[in-house]
A and B are shown apart, each in its own frame.
Chain A
Amino acid sequence: MKPAYDEMLDASGAVRPSYHGFAAWLESTAPEVIARKREEADLTFHRVGITFAVYGEEAGKERLIPFDIIPRIIPAAEWQRIEAGLRQRVKALNAFLDDIYHDQEILKAGRIPAQQVLGNSQYRAEMAGVTVPGGIYAHIAGVDLVRADHGDKCGEYYVLEDNLRTPSGVSYMLENRKMMMRLFPEIFARMAIAPVEHYPDLLLENLRSVAPEGVHNPNVVLLTPGQFNSAYFEHAFLAQQMGIELVEGNDLFVRDDTVFMRTTQGPQRVDVIYRRIDDDFLDPLAFRKDSVLGVPGLFNAYRAGRVTLANAIGTGIADDKAMYIHVPEMIRFYCGEEPILSNVPTWELAKPDDRKYVLEHLAELVVKEVHGSGGYGMLVGPTSSKAEIEAFRRKILAAPEGYIAQPTLALSTCPTYVDSGVAPRHLDLRPYVLSGRDISMVPGGLTRVALKQGSLVVNSSQGGGTKDTWVLEN
């Protein structure tokens, strides 16, 4: 099998132009210096406590996400195209959400089967007719991109999935950059690398721009499930960076359809909630009754337009894997343009022809649960045993509509420090797209890397690491 597209080296093994500056630096730096810098990075991450909790392991256990010092470098022109593609895609996704919760033009036009939307468990009927500020639903989108040689295309970017609920990981993007600048200031002095540190400013500005009508100096808070959540570090980090309060459900209460927070100076009105709690847990009166994380009455305040939730309730329908295949059509319908970024070719197991093909080719394909996320509940055919494939086949046959399948893309690789030295490892890229009055983003995003040789699963919960992402300015 031909090796995957490598970000640093071309097919002949020569360094690509975007990596010339970095490669020259690497060449001129003694291995001991690099080894020492790597140790320093590890120690710093531990001391500062940039950790995440792993579900299913010993309670309260915290782990460090491995960080690799070789950056993923994206040339300026390449990023321009990615950015244009992301803007177009997120704009269409927001238009789609606004549409299906109001006039449902796209369904009336027959461009997407109505049953797939209205019959989907992710469609929130409670949101029908609810107007949200600016018609924006997905204020923060984390769009996962992969790069691969596929068919006749070489090093093409594909959208793997759109994360429109509570995408996480942006704190690692920021901490990785801070770490690289601390370890290797001389490279930053020499190369023109686009900054990302202003992300918290952009995020705060974005959240303020979607405050309820008539609120001029909105009070923005970040709502977290609490310190035992796996992403708590990120919640605390972002709140601190934005200078806003980090609140839990019991810090808030609703009176007369208005949300207040309990402060030492009495109740203070809350206008915008950047929530990192799933829809189901937001309001025990409206959704899951057993939720102790939420705020009773929040949904009524929201429906009355007295508070903005970011992201909105009900965005899960648009990043559902069953809806993924329709995103190119959404772009054509709402933007009147051809998609700039491609989807990965996808088979729907609900369709008999697709199902037949997939079941015959399980060993070559990646099969995902429609509602799954985080790398859980998926089958990667080429790296699975016969027994695993057969077990998965039985799961598919029991409920075929719950699955989609995609070709196993040879995700692009980047040289990475591993136990045996430096070796190519597979990557993806998650840029964070902010939508409010405008669409904004910082160049790049979070690069995740699968540290196990040959592995295509980059999720931190599955042994993935991260790298700094450099978008060149020239």
Chain B
Amino acid sequence: MLSSTADHLYWLGRGTERAENTARMLDVTYRMSLLKQSVAEPHHEWRAMLSISGLHEDFEARYDEPSAANVMHFMALDEKNPGSIYNSLYTARENARAIRGAITSEMWEALNSTWLEMRRIQAAGIAEDGVSSFFEWVKERSHLSRGIAHGTLLRDDIFRFLRLGTFFERADNTARILDVKYHILLPSVDDIGGAADYYHWGALLRSVSAFESYRKVYRDLITPKRVAELLILRPDMPRSLMAAMNEVNRLLQEINGPRAGELLRRCGQLHGELRFGTIDDIFARGLHEYLSEFLERIYDLGDLINTTYFWTTDEWPAPLPAAALSFKMPSSSQLMA
């Protein structure tokens, strides 16, 4: 496949997933801000969310205070914020437009109408009582586009690069959501079983559609450690780091490629550490430290995906012998079959 096509597919997947996760993150922050109003530290949740998203400098330059209305406008509708839902959906649509021939027409039409509706919403603004239904809408459109991809695309590298973008972004975003909430909830970690725990950690679980799953898995009180375990290590929890990295690792093995060695090694290492990690070890190190390192390693993997598959000619300096051009490594799934 053309590198540029793979690049577009990857960012199409990431854009859609990022829009969904931003909506989830805003939703949980919004719910939490309704629960607790600290006089000493107003807008504590919103400030934390901005700093962990890495967008606080841009925000501070253009808005006065991190009030709910300001942050939500910045993160949902602001066309100057590259991380806003508006821009994530734009990224998805523009990347789809560039490769319309590679995806099914159903998929293109869904992404295009999502974008047209987003533009309408942006122009009209979101009323206070429309906040939740806007977040619902973003999630639904993301479910729809993923569902159409799953239901209509041939299972070739087109599908794989698209899914790679989806799960890569999800791994990044779940780590961020967990980190931002943990940061806010830190003072209450020892206050196990308190009402605050129930509401705050409950809101966090709901933001990643994991509240019911938690109940099913643990059949017990909501504790920070179990929440972290669920969202980091459980392979059966679809938005956990483990589940996302299972997909990323498998997709990278299937895609393979003549220069994928280092990428596969680094990804396999990260994957293996999750696979054989325990929540006690993670807490012994410190959850925040653990998540920060995870995000850094995800970031490096992203760079490596870039240079391995979306390479420019400068990154492939050595002239290749004719034989190398026609030789394709069998994928690991073929080897195992």
Contacts and interface: CB of A to CB of B under 8 A. Distances in A.
Contacts of A261: 2
A62 to B, nearest CB: 11
A264 B157 contact: yes
Q: Which 6 A-B pairs have the closest CB atoms?
A: A240-B101, A262-B3, A253-B313, A264-B309, A236-B101, A264-B6
Given A47-B109, A240-B101, A246-B101, A266 B4 contact: no
Contact of B3 (A236, A240, A251, A256): A251
B101 A262 contact: no
B2 A251 contact: yes
A261 B2 CA distance: 7
Task: Point out which of A47, A240, A246, A255 has the most chain B C-beta atoms below 10 A from its C-beta.
Answer: A246
Contact of A262 (B109, B257, B313, B324): B313
15 contacts: A49-B100, A240-B101, A245-B2, A245-B5, A253-B313, A261-B2, A262-B312, A262-B313, A264-B255, A265-B258, A265-B328, A266-B258, A266-B316, A266-B320, A267-B316
Nearest to B324: A266
Contacts of A267: 316, 320, 325
Contact of B259 (A48, A246, A256, A266): A266
Given A262-B2, A265-B258, 4 more contacts: A49-B100, A236-B100, A256-B319, A266-B258
Contacts of B186: none
B299 interface: no
Contacts of A227: 97-98
A247 B5 CA distance: 9
A48 B109 CA distance: 8
Contact of A264 (B1, B109, B319, B320): B1
Interface of A: 47-49, 227, 236-237, 239-240, 245-248, 250-251, 253, 255-256, 261-269
A240 to B, nearest CB: 4
A227 B312 CA distance: 21
A253 B320 CA distance: 14
Interface string B1-16: 1111110000000000
A60 to B, nearest CB: 11
B258 A255 contact: no
Contacts of A256: 319
A280 to B, nearest CB: 23
A268 B3 CA distance: 11
B257 A265 contact: yes
Interface in B82-114: 97-98, 100-101, 105, 109
Contacts of B319: 255-256
Nearest to B313: A253
B311 interface: yes
Interface in B1-52: 1-6
A308 B257 CA distance: 28
A418 B257 CA distance: 57
Interface of B: 1-6, 97-98, 100-101, 105, 109, 157, 161, 255, 257-259, 309, 311-313, 316, 319-320, 324-325, 328
Nearest to A266: B258
A303 to B, nearest CB: 20
Contacts of B2: 245, 247, 251, 261-264
Contacts of A240: 101
A41 to B, nearest CB: 17
Contact of A239 (B98, B101, B157, B312): B101
Contacts of A262: 2-4, 311-313, 316
A372 to B, nearest CB: 32
Contacts of B157: 264
Contacts of B325: 266-269
A269 B322 CA distance: 10
Nearest to B259: A266
A266 to B, nearest CB: 5
Contact of B4 (A48, A237, A248, A269): A248
Task: Point out which of B4, B259, B311 has the most chain A C-beta atoms below 10 A from its C-beta.
Answer: B4
A424 to B, nearest CB: 37
A245 B101 CA distance: 10
Contacts of B309: 264
A323 B286 CA distance: 80
Contacts of B328: 265
A392 B101 CA distance: 44
Nearest to B1: A264
Contacts of B312: 262
Given A227-B97, A269-B325, A263 B3 contact: yes
A264 B164 CA distance: 14
B257 to A, nearest CB: 5
B4 A250 contact: yes
Nearest to A268: B325
A53 to B, nearest CB: 13
Contacts of B4: 247-248, 250-251, 262
Task: Point out which of A248, A265, A269 has the most chain B C-beta atoms below 10 A from its C-beta.
Answer: A265
A267 B316 CA distance: 9
B6 to A, nearest CB: 5
A138 to B, nearest CB: 26
